[in-house]
């Protein structure tokens, strides 16, 4: 039988890391060079078929600007999954991502599937965060890790698909 499983998913990460761009790529297959900074949060939904099951993601795309930080718990509490996003060409965004992981581990739900996305993987020439560094960090903290590019679409469907698989297993 074809079951539909609803899954609340939240994106967290520094301003400009590419959260909205990842969602736009996943939901609409689009990319814009001048994506506007998110105010508060934005909601999207998208379904994904995994074998004979369907996951319906209810996606909260949060704002990275610090002034919206206090809103974040509303979105990550009760989330089945979280994607913590940084920009591989921006070391400070990786530091910020680790802070989000800490906050999720301290204040979030133990069962939330957490993915770490090293976005803007197309910007290899200005890379500041090495893959090995992120991979090791992810392993040590029980996250799964992928480098993504909202611009080229690399690994965007894949990261959502991997989350969906883990949700269905769990
Ligand atoms: P806030 O909403 O302010 O928290 O930012 P955000 O994390 O949603 O970032 P957003 O998606 O708005 O992207 C910021 C900028 O980075 C935009 O100009 C995007 O076009 C660009 N961008 C996003 N993803 C990629 C990517 O994979 N590669 C490249 N080269 N640029 C990207
Ligand atoms: Mg945004």
**Tens-digit pLDDT profile for residues 132-145:** 999 999 999 999 99
With a 6 A CB cut-off, is 21 part of the ligand 1 pocket? yes
Residue nearest to atom 13 of ligand 1 (CA): 18
Please identify, by atom number, the ligand 1 atom nearest to the C-alpha of residue 149. Answer: 27
Q: What band does 98 get if pLDDT is binned at 50, 70 and 90?
A: very high
In percent, the amount of the chain with pLDDT more than 90 equals: 96
**Tens-digit pLDDT profile for residues 15-29:** 999 999 999 999 999
DSSP state letter for 74? H
**Residue range 97-113: mean pLDDT, rounded:** 97
CA distance 121 to 127: 8
CB-based contact 117:83 (threshold 8 Å): yes
Please identify, by atom number, the ligand 1 atom nearest to the C-alpha of residue 32. Answer: 20
Instruction: State residue 3's pLDDT score.
Output: 85
CB-based contact 104:72 (threshold 8 Å): no
CB-based contact 38:19 (threshold 8 Å): yes
**Residue range 8-37: mean pLDDT, rounded:** 98
**Residue at token pair 């133990």:** 110
Residue nearest to atom 20 of ligand 1 (CA): 33
Is pLDDT above 60 for 5? yes
CA of 38 to the centre of ligand 2 (A): 4
- Give this complex's ipTM: 0.99
Q: What band does 1 get if pLDDT is binned at 50, 70 and 90?
A: low
Instruction: State residue 28's pLDDT score.
Output: 98
Residue nearest to atom 10 of ligand 1 (CA): 18
Instruction: State residue 170's pLDDT score.
Output: 76
With a 6 A CB cut-off, is 37 part of the ligand 1 pocket? yes
CA of 66 to the centre of ligand 1 (A): 16
CB-based contact 79:108 (threshold 8 Å): yes
CB-based contact 8:78 (threshold 8 Å): yes
Q: Does the global pTM surpass 0.90?
A: yes
Sign of the CA dihedral 14, 39, 161, 152?
A: negative
**Tens-digit pLDDT profile for residues 80-91:** 999 999 999 999
């Amino acid at each position: 039988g074809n079951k539909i499983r609803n899954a609340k998913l939240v994106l967290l990460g520094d301003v400009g890391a590419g959260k909205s761009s990842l969602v736009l790529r996943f939901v609409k297959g689009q990319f814009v060079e001048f994506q506007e900074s998110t105010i508060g949060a934005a909601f999207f939904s998208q379904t994904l078929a995994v074998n004979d099951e369907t996951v319906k993601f209810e996606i909260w795309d949060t704002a990275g600007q610090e002034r919206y930080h206090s809103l974040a718990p509303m979105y990550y509490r009760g989330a089945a999954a979280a994607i913590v996003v940084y920009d591989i060409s921006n070391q400070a965004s990786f530091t910020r991502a680790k802070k989000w992981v800490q906050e999720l581990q301290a204040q979030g739900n133990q069962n939330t599937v957490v993915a770490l996305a090293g976005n803007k993987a197309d910007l290899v020439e200005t890379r500041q965060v090495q893959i090995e560094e992120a991979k090791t960090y992810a392993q040590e903290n029980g996250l799964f890790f992928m480098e993504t590019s909202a611009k080229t679409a690399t690994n965007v469907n894949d990261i959502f698909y991997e989350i969906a698989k883990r949700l269905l297993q769990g």
